[in-house]
Amino acid sequence: MIYLRLILTNLGRHGIRTVISVAGIAFSVAAMLTVVTVLQGAIGMFSGILSSGAELIVFERNVSDLFFSDVPASAAAQLARWPMVAHADAVLFGVVSSADHPIITCFGVTADDARIHDADWIAGDRSQFGQLNDGVVLGERAAEFLNASLGSAVPIGHGSFHVVGVVRTKNGFEDGGVFMPLEAARSFFHKEGSSVVTIKLHNKDDIPAFKREVKQNFPNLIGLEDAEFSRSYSQFKILKATAWAVGGCGLALGGLGVANTMIMSVFTRIREIAILRVNGFSNAQIAAVIFGESSIVAVIGALAGLAIGTCALLGLKLIPALHGYVDVTIHPALMLIVVVLALLTGVAGALYPSVYAMRIRAVEALRFE
Amino acid sequence: MSATSSAGNLNGPVICAGNVWKSYDKGAITVLKGVDFEAFAGQTVALCGPSGCGKSTLLHLIGGLDLPDQGRVSVNGMELNRRRNMVKFMRHEVGFVFQLHNLIADLTLEENCLLPAIAAGMDRRSARERLLLLAQRTGLEDRLGNSIQKLSGGERQRTALCRALMNGAKILLADEPTGSLDERTSSVVFDLLLDLARTEGITLLMATHDRGLASACDRLVEMRDGRIHEC
């Protein structure tokens, strides 16, 4: 109890300094939580677009971005004929532009594609998709910002397309996108194949065999499971690394704040530490007081950071423009990681001050009274 | 020069310093110049001498707060020439009272007194019992919850005395314990110090300028220029 009193007393002596340290950790934790959650959500959504309920994605080996991937139509057709394959959907990704909207994601898909098949049609009829080469289906948000409705013509790129349907999806990228018949998309983007082929197997146990077959039959292609793809896709890796780097820099700054507070705290009570030593406190006990202080700063900072981060994410969710683009599901594991990192930061910040405190010689500190 | 008790104990000295040298500032200031000193269990010894003669330094060496450059210091048969086990030694073998009380101002009287017990891992109940006993002996039983800042100088020094004896140390090292008190308070604190030392069988080694107080001790040891002269 007296340990706690010593710790709290020391923190209370310099309240403003303590609050600033707590704020440093809190904003670092909030930044890390927000950035990582948003990016993981975005990555999850993008993965969802790619797989759309399938188990495997086949795409061109060693491409830096899926927009550059080219899976020949013959390969897609061959994959669809393999006995172990239940369903194979060739998808062509592209970016199109319209008058006031320079970037609209375009999905070139077949009428059987799960994105079209499983979508919530709020206008039009699914059977109409693919009947007309210039007929497109718009996501609900795309229809809003293009100010288009069923039957209207929308200018996309150099062409004009007719809206044959409007669908609502939970995925922001799809909801703000344009679905074109695959052949029309190939023509529009001057491609002969597709970006990816999503594969659903009859039996999931065949996944390793399927990957082997892809490697043997199509040396330029690679088949990956969803999770594998998320882990290995370089764009995702860059995004994840960026998120953790930003968060890590924030925590490092927070840690420096804690270190500064703890160093000042030790410097201003050298005599008190000497008194503890004269009364039989060991190095470990003195270090425990210092680490206790930094841990309390880190714990309060982490909790405040979680609260701030959660509020920030909820705030992002309320912004209409981000609707569907930001998945603000906070994973408990991420919260745990962030809190543990904050605690480690607090401990790291107390390392030097503790060593300094342990080196204080009572006889020198008490000599000049 | 050896300072051996006239009221010598058959079991041998509990404090023994032999040919102790100590200097500061890389040898520029030599404070102790071959000090030989012994004290026996239960003795009350006054160390007198002018400022800078080495009284405090000798107390620090005997209390394990510092190490000699040369010579040997042993307390209760334990050599203090190495830092190993020094924490254990300071927890159980010696208690300190300083001129300035050296209490932690933000803690209460009780919390200050319990610090050595916490350091030593004494159980809460035993520590509390010991504290109440000492508080009664020193007349502080009604002030336990008080902040140090609300205590008088005499009360603070009595608190420091309680703290020094919390873990049942049998050697009490007092460095000018009445130096910052007025004459009347000084007399009260000193009487208490002697009384506690004598009734609990504590060996008291006290540095003081006050020869009047020193004369009440069993022995008076004079220090001059880093050397000891028995009176």
Does A268 reach chain B within 8 Å, measured CB to CB?
no
User: Is the CB of B102 less than 8 angstroms away from the CB of A366?
Assistant: yes
For the stretch A12-21, pLDDT in tens is: 877 888 898 8
Tokens of A292: 């206790």
pLDDT digits (tens, 9 = 90+) for A93-144: 888 877 777 778 888 998 888 777 778 889 888 888 888 878 899 998 888 8
Question: Which residues of chain B lie closer than 8 angstroms to A285, CB-CB?
Answer: 119
* Residue written as token pair 């220029």: B225
Residue to mutate among A279, A360, A363, with most B CBs inside 10 A, is A279
* Residue pLDDT, tens place only, B158-215: 999 999 999 888 899 999 888 878 888 888 888 888 998 888 889 999 999 888 888 9
Among A3, A278, A282, beta carbon nearest to B96: A278
What backbone torsions phi and psi does residue B220 show, to the nearest 5 degrees? -125, 120
Calpha distance A235→A173 (Å, rounded): 16
Any idea what the Cα angle at residue B65 is, between residues B64 and B70, rounded to 5°? 70
- Cβ contact, residue pair B87, A362, below 8 Å: no
A288 touches B: beta carbon within 8 Å: no
- Domain borders along chain A are 2-46+236-367, 62-219
Say yes or no: A365 contacts chain B, CB-CB below 8 A: no
Three-class SS of chain B? CCCCCCCCCCCCCCEEEEEEEEEECCCCEEEEEEEEEEECCCCEEEEECCCCCCHHHHHHHHCCCCCCCEEEEEECCEECCCCCCHHHHHHHCEEEECCCCCCCCCCEHHHHHHHHHHHHCCCHHHHHHHHHHHHHHHCCCCCCCCEHHHCCHHHHHHHHHHHHHCCCCCEEEEECCCCCCCHHHHHHHHHHHHHHHHHCCCEEEEEECCHHHHCCCCEEEEEECCEEEEC
Weakest-pLDDT range from A26-30, A46-50, A66-70, B216-220: A46-50
The reply to whether the predicted model has a pTM over 0.90 is: no
Run of H or E residues at A357: helix A332-359
For A284, the closest chain B residue by CA position comes to B119
What pLDDT, in 10s, does the model give residues A225-278? 877 777 777 777 888 888 888 888 887 887 887 788 778 878 888 888 899 988
**What does R_g of chain A's alpha carbons equal in angstroms?**
29
Burial class (CB in 10 A: 0-12, 13-18, 19+), B179: middle
**Closest listed residue to residue B164, CA positions, set B216, B103, B75, B108:** B103
pLDDT number for residue A324: 61
Q: Is the CB of residue A178 less than 8 Å away from at least one CB of chain B?
A: no
Q: Is it the case that residue B106 has pLDDT exceeding 60?
A: yes
For B122, name the nearest residue in chain A, comparing CA atoms only.
Answer: A280
**CB-closest option in A5, A271, A280 to B91:** A280
Q: What is the DSSP letter of A323?
A: T
* ipTM score of complex: 0.88
In a 13 Å sphere around the CA of A266, the CA atoms on its Cβ side amount to 26
What backbone phi and psi angles, to 5 degrees, belong to B86?
Answer: -65, -35
Nearest in space to B167 (alpha carbons), one of B204, B130, B139: B130
What is d(CA A56, CA A222) in angstroms, rounded to the nearest whole number?
10
d(C-alpha B229, C-alpha B3), whole Å: 7
Q: Find chain B residues with C-beta within 8 A of A13's C-beta.
A: 106
